Amino acid sequence: MSVSPLAAADRPVTLRHLAHIAADGRGGLSYRLAAPSAAAAGGLMPPASSVPSALAALAPLRRQLSVQPEAAVYSGPAPRGPSRVTLRTIRKKYESGEPLSMVTAYDYPSAVHVDAAGIDILLVGDSVAMVVHGHDTTLPISLDDMIAHCKAAARGARRAFLVGDLPFGCYETDPRDAVRSAVRVLKEGGMDAVKLEGGSPARVEAARAIVETGVAVMGHVGLTPQSVSVIGGFRPQAQVADEALRVLDQAMALQAAGCFALVLECIPGPIAAAITRCLTIPTIGIGAGGQCSGQVLVYHDLLGMMSHPHHAKVTPKFCKQYARVGDIIGEALQAYRRDVEERAFPGPRFSPYSISEPEVRSLAEALRKRGLGGAAEAVEDEAHRAAAAKAAAKAAATTEAAAAAERAAGGTR
């Protein structure tokens, strides 16, 4: 039985009412406490003095039954902890002059790593088309593909502010298409904001429409990979005054449209510094010098995992490799291949599952009855070999333990 706000003041409070108050979050309403009566004595209504404790006891029920998100933005009740990065966090860091860190990552494992490192912003970029899917440009990736990657990253990142790229083809034709795509990225992908490329009037209008819908937007000017066919390849931008002014105008227009931040890609440091000085929103640089409000690199690039196809198998000039994970991966895979070829893997240590000797005999007998003598011999031989290897390993461990104990005893004398 639901209690309406209008009727609440005229009704006595019952335990059922308290449950509704707790579940619906209406604890702030004024409910009249009826005087003790026979109904109260029968358990329908608690004494007035017990109401606060009853509400406290029902607090967990309120959380379980509430339809309000606990700490998530748009993707449902997914608590992500008190240290979660929000737009307010980003704005506070920007205003205090603290540099913002952003990493482009595309899946659950990388998102877990990015989150654990304390990175402020995780961008699920359409560069996944190149880095993960192996395309030569970002153009082939679809909105559905992007949403799948957004979902995976959102499951891995519980702290970072999540931004999902709007891929080419999902927002260019009409602002309404842009809004629909942005809403999907948030509702289905679990993102906190979207990013779109370019500063043309049409792109600015799309950004404005999305912002007016209530979705946070990050802009992107300079080198915009989705425009690769127009600009003639992946080349630095704004290297002449006219181009620099055009990029500045685009940045100003995107800020006016309501973008909360801008990516500046592959432009000279002085130009990025000038744009950053002109804006009142954070700039995130990639190949844009050190005077931006923050920096972004691709997860795979900064870890030295692999190279983009369009960089001719070399790391981008603007990317510092903080590790050479690709070399480590290559060495590990080669070592694995050698172990397999030499039958050194899995060996006794990595063959943990066994079968008892009576079961071996029973199985071998059953196989021979079926005329599968070779299979029976294989079962017996492998069981005996595994048992011998296990015994040898146990003996070696015992010997090593005894030697270690002897060394320890000698060291205490």
Active site residues: 265
Phi, psi (rounded to 5 degrees) for 86: -125, 175
Please list, in sequence order, all residues whose beta carbon lies within 8 angstroms of the beta carbon of residue 223, skipping any fewer than 6 positions away.
231, 234, 235, 236, 237, 265, 266, 267, 287
| 261 and 286 Cβ atoms separated by less than 8 Å | no
Cβ 218 vs Cβ 195: under 8 Å: yes
Greatest C-alpha distance within the chain? 88
Q: Could you tell me if 243 and 270 are in contact, meaning their C-beta atoms sit under 8 angstroms apart?
A: no
Cα angle: 105, vertex 282, 154; to 5 degrees: 25
Helix (H, G, I), strand (E, B) or coil at 236: coil
Name the E strands within 138-292.
161-165, 193-195, 216-222, 261-265, 283-286
Q: Is 344 exposed, middle or buried (0-12, 13-18, 19+ CB in 10 A)?
A: exposed
370/359 Cα distance (integer angstroms): 17
CA gap 271, 251 in Å, rounded: 12
CB 190 within 8 A of CB 154: yes
